[in-house]
Amino acid sequence: MTSSLNFKHIILWRHADAEPLAIDQSSGFDRVLTETGEIQAKKMAKWLRANLPKNTLILSSPTKRTLQTAEALKKSFRKDAQELLQCCPE
């Protein structure tokens, strides 16, 4: 991260509605959003885009459902924010 970024706010946004953990899954890492979750993510992203500054830094957990949720938001922010989205190691 560059030191020129000046953060004054933090928004914690939980992933949208996701599929339940399958019986044969040992972890929820690969769970994906439900159709309802995709709609929820798009609606919340629309509100956040209108209310967050353009230099918002987006950080996300590497889980599929969380990346899907953040993906709805990252499209309207600058390129380096988009690259930072997937910076977390798996």
Q: Has residue 25 been placed in a domain? A: no
Q: Has residue 24 been placed in a domain? A: no
Compute how many other C-beta atoms are within 10 angstroms of the C-beta atom of residue 37. Answer: 19
Q: Has residue 39 been placed in a domain? A: yes
Domain count, the chain: 1
What confidence category does residue 34 fall into, taking pLDDT thresholds of 50, 70 and 90? very high
Domain enclosing residue 59, as ranges:
35-84
Q: Has residue 3 been placed in a domain? A: no
Residue 69 · residue 34 · CB < 8 Å: no
At 14 the pLDDT is: 81
Higher pLDDT, 35 or 81: 35
Mean pLDDT, rounded, for 13-33:
82
| Top mean-pLDDT range of 10-14, 45-49, 78-82 | 45-49
Lowest-confidence region among 8-12, 65-69, 77-81: 77-81
